[in-house]
Structure 1
Amino acid sequence: MLLSPVLRVAPALALMAWIHPVCAEGLPRRPPPRPAQPQRVQGQQKQQNQEDKQSQEGKQSESEIDTEDLFGFTEGSDVGDPGELEASIDSTGRFGHRGGRYRVFSRTLEVEYTPAERLSFAFDATFDRYWIRNVPDLENRNTGGLSQLSTQMRYQFIKRDPSPVGLTLSLEPQLGFFDQDTGERARRTALEAVLSLDTALVPERLFAAVNLTYEAERVRPRSFIGLDRDLEEVDPFDPTAVAVVPSPAERESTIGISGAVAYQAVPNLFVGAEAHYLRRYDGLDFKTFEGHALFIGPTLYVKVSDQVSLSAAWDVQVAGKASSEPGHLDLENFEHHQAKLKLIAQF
């Protein structure tokens, strides 16, 4: 009698035990717990993300490096972005001639605009100051003023990024009011052409540039000369002068090649060096050689901010010779020292 309740419940318990496994097969099962990722793998992933971020920042910083003023007197190939406006003050100094004291300070105000991709135009006004004392064949002078107006067109045939090299041609017609060597009042017309090639030897760090230059000029002094009966040139106030005529125009041409490197020592600070070799001729046909000179010196470029930068250079003549003078330097056609300081602002 005591077992009757148990016997009544036993069939129900057996039926539930048989139904439960069958129903459980149709229910969704919880996935097994995911093993924890090792700490080492997480650290490698974090390091990889940091490297990718630094690589992207490096590519961006390289594309923002403007090489036009990176190499001192040597020009880089970069041209501004379309619509970019740039203003600059370029101060240069030329020192040293054959004996005496020779100093020329020049300040150029420039506005450059980029109307289209790879094309820029610039307008320049240059003011010179001459201080010449006891230099053979040169008159003593302490004068200055507006010395030159010019315009410059730059076209970039090959863009350095993505190409490994950049190539740009610059043409600059000039109208001057002084003889650049003597400081004498004159009417001067000239054309300067520069072919610039540069590349990144080490991305973001080391850059190099090469320039080929040609300059042709015509100078007519604002003075007069006298002619005697044999049509020989004499002083206008000489009693033998039978005629007084304007001084004849002089024509000269200069060709050169330069090379420079610039290394980013710390972010936004580049130090480097350049060398340029110049040959001067009387006339525009390269037939009468006047002299040659080799200049070498350091360069500096500082990017103060995203819009403001500073470029500086100092070159010294270390070798050369004038065709009409003895010595191992050409101090008749070229200066002993050349210095440059340029402040650039972009808008």
Structure 2
Amino acid sequence: MFVSGILSFPHAVAAATIVASQLASCALALADDKPGRTYGTPRGPLSHAASKPAQNLPSAHAEIDTEHIFGFSMGSDIGKPGEIEVEFENVGAFGKRSGSYAALANLNQVKYTVSDNFRIAPGFSLSGQHISGVPGLADHRDVAFSGAALELRYKLVDRAVAPFGLTLHAQPGWSRIDDATGMNIAQYGAEFAALFDRELVKDRLFAAFNVWYGTGGTREIVTNLWRHDSEMQLQAAISYAVQPELLFGLGIRYARAYDGSGLDRFLGDAVFAGPTFSYSISKEVGISGTWQMQVAGKALGDNRSLNLEQFERHQALLRINLHF
């Protein structure tokens, strides 16, 4: 179970939101021309070489920040030492077998890159649901503060000097609201991931492969009963730079849901696929996202096509990043 993270999918990741008001206010506040970096400027250890002659750079691998160019999948870049980044991430889910279903999970983080290889990012989350007539779920409509999380990332292999990049991700978290149902809960868990990426064509074509594992325990406030669940995902994505600041791509994810915190009893799986984009509005403001639909899946004991028990028909993401 992914707890308050990019992929918070214990019973369904929550639903996308359009954060135009956030973007507008942040863009106005950062509209000056002070130095900064964009998704098309160097970051990571190689960025220290920006003032050196071009022939001293080991490669062009670090010229595009790969962290957010793959939609749900993540690149290995973590920023340069001392960098501060504010991120508004909105993950969403739409559509069940019948009825009306939409949910939202919003994670707001402040990221601080401590060194070339290590970054820390505390954050808090909001969630909202609009559920009506969905079998097995109570009708619910609300938006509330839902929890907190602490993201830790360690860059194990630097793609600037190696054939590929590899960053390890860990994110413990706590939730008081079930993102999928809106129920009051006490949830404790964590997600872990290995984030691989590689530049396939210099300055143009990039690929990523992620392995994600989430686990946690949840106590329902109304019944005082505990449940434990977990999830594993394999993700792959490719992204092409039309311009240094504008990239389009395609992402695909295979997700497996389990009862039990250690991938104990298989409940169902799903495959999602869809387009991705990333755009640097300015040196300080970047926006990225994806919309993916379930193209295959099965729930245990259900012969119908698609898995609409643990997952949804559509999952989407819209992310805004501010760099300081």
Q: TM-score range by the shorter chain?
A: 0.7 to 0.9
Matching residue of 2:205: 206
Once the two structures are overlaid, the 10-residue window that deviates more, 105-114 or 192-201, is: 105-114
1:38-78 alpha-carbon deviations (Å, 9 max, x no partner): xxxxxxxxxxxxxxxxx869988752311111100001001
| Cα distance in 2, alignment partners of residues 94 and 282 from structure 1 | 21
| Cα distance in 2, alignment partners of residues 72 and 82 from structure 1 | 24
Shift of 1:148: 1.9
Q: How many residues align?
A: 271
Amino acid at match of 1:137: G
Per the alignment, do residues 105 and 177 of structure 1 end up closer, same or farther by CA in structure 2, a change over 3 Å counting? same
Query: Are positions 1:272 and 2:286 aligned together?
Result: no
Amino acid at match of 1:295: F
Runs of 4+ in 1 over 6 A off after TM superposition: 55-61
Amino acid at match of 2:265: T
Matching residue of 1:335: 312
Query: Are positions 1:309 and 2:286 aligned together?
Result: yes
Identity %: 35
Matching residue of 2:301: 324
Amino acid at match of 2:250: A
Query: Are positions 1:169 and 2:172 aligned together?
Result: no
Amino acid at match of 2:194: L
Matching residue of 1:153: 152
- What is the SS of the residue equivalent to 1:194? strand
**CA RMSD, 1 decimal:** 1.7
> Are the equivalent residues in 1 in contact too, given 2:129–2:179 (CA < 8 A)?
no
Gaps in structure 2 of 5+ consecutive residues:
1-53
Once the two structures are overlaid, the 10-residue window that deviates more, 148-157 or 64-73, is: 64-73
Query: Are positions 1:75 and 2:52 aligned together?
Result: no
Task: Select the structure with the greater relative contact order (CA < 8 A; seq sep ≥ 6).
Answer: 2
- What is the SS of the residue equivalent to 1:65? coil
| Cα distance in 1, alignment partners of residues 236 and 58 from structure 2 | 25
1:253-273 alpha-carbon deviations (Å, 9 max, x no partner): 101100000000123110000
Matching residue of 1:240: none
Flag the structure with larger Rg.
Answer: 1
- What is the SS of the residue equivalent to 2:62? helix
| Cα distance in 2, alignment partners of residues 286 and 89 from structure 1 | 30
Matching residue of 1:100: 99
> Are the equivalent residues in 1 in contact too, given 2:288–2:318 (CA < 8 A)?
yes
| Cα distance in 2, alignment partners of residues 345 and 311 from structure 1 | 12
Matching residue of 1:114: 113
Amino acid at match of 1:109: N
**Correspondence list, 1:1-347, <5 A:** 62-224=61-223, 246=224, 248-347=225-324
> Are the equivalent residues in 1 in contact too, given 2:152–2:170 (CA < 8 A)?
yes
> Are the equivalent residues in 1 in contact too, given 2:129–2:180 (CA < 8 A)?
no
Amino acid at match of 1:148: G
| Cα distance in 2, alignment partners of residues 115 and 135 from structure 1 | 46
Per the alignment, do residues 338 and 56 of structure 1 end up closer, same or farther by CA in structure 2, a change over 3 Å counting? farther
Amino acid at match of 1:94: A
- Normalising by structure 2, report the TM-score: 0.80
| Cα distance in 2, alignment partners of residues 66 and 105 from structure 1 | 27
Once the two structures are overlaid, the 10-residue window that deviates more, 214-223 or 321-330, is: 321-330
| Cα distance in 1, alignment partners of residues 166 and 263 from structure 2 | 26
Amino acid at match of 1:313: T
Per the alignment, do residues 130 and 89 of structure 1 end up closer, same or farther by CA in structure 2, a change over 3 Å counting? same
| Cα distance in 2, alignment partners of residues 333 and 120 from structure 1 | 32
Per the alignment, do residues 319 and 95 of structure 1 end up closer, same or farther by CA in structure 2, a change over 3 Å counting? same
> Are the equivalent residues in 1 in contact too, given 2:171–2:190 (CA < 8 A)?
yes
| Cα distance in 1, alignment partners of residues 319 and 216 from structure 2 | 25
| Cα distance in 1, alignment partners of residues 294 and 67 from structure 2 | 24
| Cα distance in 2, alignment partners of residues 285 and 122 from structure 1 | 26
1:84-115 alpha-carbon deviations (Å, 9 max, x no partner): 00001112221111211110022221100011
- Normalising by structure 1, report the TM-score: 0.75
Per the alignment, do residues 267 and 294 of structure 1 end up closer, same or farther by CA in structure 2, a change over 3 Å counting? same
| Cα distance in 2, alignment partners of residues 285 and 124 from structure 1 | 26
| Cα distance in 2, alignment partners of residues 58 and 128 from structure 1 | 44
Matching residue of 2:31: none
Once the two structures are overlaid, the 10-residue window that deviates more, 291-300 or 98-107, is: 98-107
| Cα distance in 2, alignment partners of residues 196 and 204 from structure 1 | 20
Matching residue of 1:8: none
